[in-house]
Structure 1
Amino acid sequence: MLLHPVIQQLRTLKLDGMALALQEQQEQASIRELSFEERLTLLLERERVIRDTKGMQRRLSAARLKQNVSMEEVDVKHPRGLDAKLFRSLHSGQWIAEKRGVIITGPTGVGKTFIGCALAHQACRQGFTALYAQTGRLLGDMTLAKGDGRYLKLLAHLAKVQVLILDDWGLDVPTPEGRRILLEILDDRYERSSTIITSQFPTSAWHANLGDPTLADAILDRVLHHAYRIELKGESLRKRSRHLTPSAVSLS
């Protein structure tokens, strides 16, 4: 039987994994020892693996992570106060299924963004959508979007993202418009999706940093409850890396 037309039809139907697996089977003499059902199962498994891989790649591309790193690359033994047990428990993704958040605080350079991106990377591997945003830049972009008619569309997009990283929270005091936008973003996501927040400031300083007591109450009410806390400490890893060879630098 000529398999070329069959392979072409599989590709036309966008079953590229099955087409590739079928080609490989033809090169294996031992494959004829398997039954039709067993060979078909192998074809379907290859198709599933390839689709899962492509889906993960699409999600990672859409996430626009500042650092494309995995949880396995995080050094949980480095002395910076990272609770290894908590961090490993987040590996399962159950916190996303439960619509809980993660708050990562600590001084500059201790790996807050790295850890946040690693959590989002793991989420993409598990089939969830993610998106990285620098908080101040996001609020600026959303403010501009109000003027050109894109605001509601962007707000709806942010609401659908299953894991949103808000990096550098509190670095700048938001404008009055920015505070209202931040409240709308978080209100849409509250108990519907998960948000990762990284900040140089402890959560005790967030209320004052937001600049408006009333809106600060509303914003933090949607952020602080049901969120896991990762409180880091210690010197900047960037400072430490200056004294190490490239091969010795921890990427955490």
Structure 2
Amino acid sequence: MANVASLPVLLKELKLSNFAKHWEVLAQKAIDEQWLPQTYLAELCEQEAGERHQKRLQRYLREAQMPPAKQLSQFDFTSTLGINKNQITALIQQRQWVNQAENILLFGASGVGKTHLACGIGYALIEQGVRIKFTTATGIVQSLQQAKADLTLAELLTRMDKYTVLIVDDIGYVKKSSQETQVLFELIAHRYETGSLIITSNQPFSAWDQIFDDNMMTVAAIDRLVHHATILEIKGESFRKKMSMKRREKQTKR
């Protein structure tokens, strides 16, 4: 028969840290309330699973590297056209697009909230246990270019497969050069039907020939992105412009 004195060591060996913290207190509660043994075990397991879930979400938040203060609760849907809160909520709650490696494409002028909306969706998905990675288009292109120069591009693309959803922000700011657009296309092609992309752009598809230096590559990239995609066009006045005007008004009053 196992010795109770060895239980802390055994729990440490099994990496059951939450068991180790609570088993004694719960054991006394189980005795006082006359729990069945399986009830006591179930309570311990529930606490262990809950703590592991919270730690996993915290790890997902850290690795996502999304800008702070861009949750959906802070997004002003009343100041935009082309989208509504119910539409975005449905995308989060009914996650078939994630399970089927489909994409979300957000279009709109600078400052209308594309990045905020993309991150808001990302934060909400993380809370549901979905692994997310946020990056600017220029940032990911630089990383991909460096990997290609080091002959490790395939390895980097494979490592990024661990992220169920990859948010690529401001694709319109990628410079039009064969080196940059080629690795961007390779990323799009690699993720096609294997992992979801959320892409923001201030340029419509008709202007994407300014992003890719080859028309055939432009067509191929758009074709892969839109094949399984929800396309949202956000219209409205720049939030940054409105905030700037409000600050000026306050300064004028002072």
> What range describes the TM-score normalised by the shorter chain of this pair?
0.7 to 0.9
* Higher mean C-alpha displacement, 18-27 vs 110-119: 18-27
CA contact (8 A) 1:106 1:200 kept: yes
Counterpart selection for 1:169 from 156, 171, 176: 171
The amino acid that maps onto 2:153 is Y
Post-superposition offset of 1:68 = 6.0
Relative to its length, the structure with more helix (as a share) is: 2
Alignment correspondent of 1:89: 90
Post-superposition offset of 1:137 = 2.2
Cα gap change, 1:45 to 1:78, in 2 (>3 Å) = farther
CA contact (8 A) 1:63 1:132 kept: yes
Q: For 2:211, what is the secondary structure of its paired residue?
A: helix
Alignment correspondent of 1:249: none
Q: Give the root-mean-square deviation of aligned CA atoms.
A: 2.5
Post-superposition offset of 1:49 = 0.7
CA contact (8 A) 1:81 1:231 kept: yes
CA distance in structure 2 between the aligned counterparts of 1:222 and 1:58, rounded to whole angstroms: 31
Post-superposition offset of 1:95 = 1.6
Alignment correspondent of 1:137: 139
CA distance in structure 2 between the aligned counterparts of 1:31 and 1:190, rounded to whole angstroms: 58
- Answering whether residue 217 of structure 2 is matched by residue 182 of structure 1, we say no
Post-superposition offset of 1:176 = 0.5
4+ aligned runs moved over 6 Å, structure 1: none
Alignment correspondent of 1:10: 11
- Answering whether residue 64 of structure 2 is matched by residue 63 of structure 1, we say yes
Task: List runs of 5+ in structure 2 lacking aligned partners.
Answer: 248-254
What number of residue pairs does the alignment pair up?
244
CA distance in structure 2 between the aligned counterparts of 1:23 and 1:202, rounded to whole angstroms: 62
* Higher mean C-alpha displacement, 90-99 vs 41-50: 90-99
Post-superposition offset of 1:79 = 3.4
| Percent of paired sites with the same residue | 29
Post-superposition offset of 1:172 = 3.1
Post-superposition offset of 1:239 = 3.0
CA distance in structure 1 between the aligned counterparts of 2:246 and 2:13, rounded to whole angstroms: 53
The amino acid that maps onto 1:109 is G
Post-superposition offset of 1:159 = 3.6
Post-superposition offset of 1:29 = 7.7
- Answering whether residue 149 of structure 2 is matched by residue 147 of structure 1, we say yes
Q: For 1:34, what is the secondary structure of its paired residue?
A: coil
**What aligned pairs does 1:1-252 form with structure 2 within 5 A after superposition?**
5-26=6-27, 28=29, 32-67=33-68, 69-92=70-93, 93-242=95-244
Post-superposition offset of 1:166 = 0.9
CA distance in structure 2 between the aligned counterparts of 1:65 and 1:151, rounded to whole angstroms: 23
Task: List runs of 5+ in structure 1 lacking aligned partners.
Answer: 246-252
Cα gap change, 1:31 to 1:177, in 2 (>3 Å) = farther
CA distance in structure 2 between the aligned counterparts of 1:30 and 1:238, rounded to whole angstroms: 61
The TM-score with structure 2 as length reference comes to 0.85
Q: For 2:240, what is the secondary structure of its paired residue?
A: helix
Post-superposition offset of 1:30 = 7.7
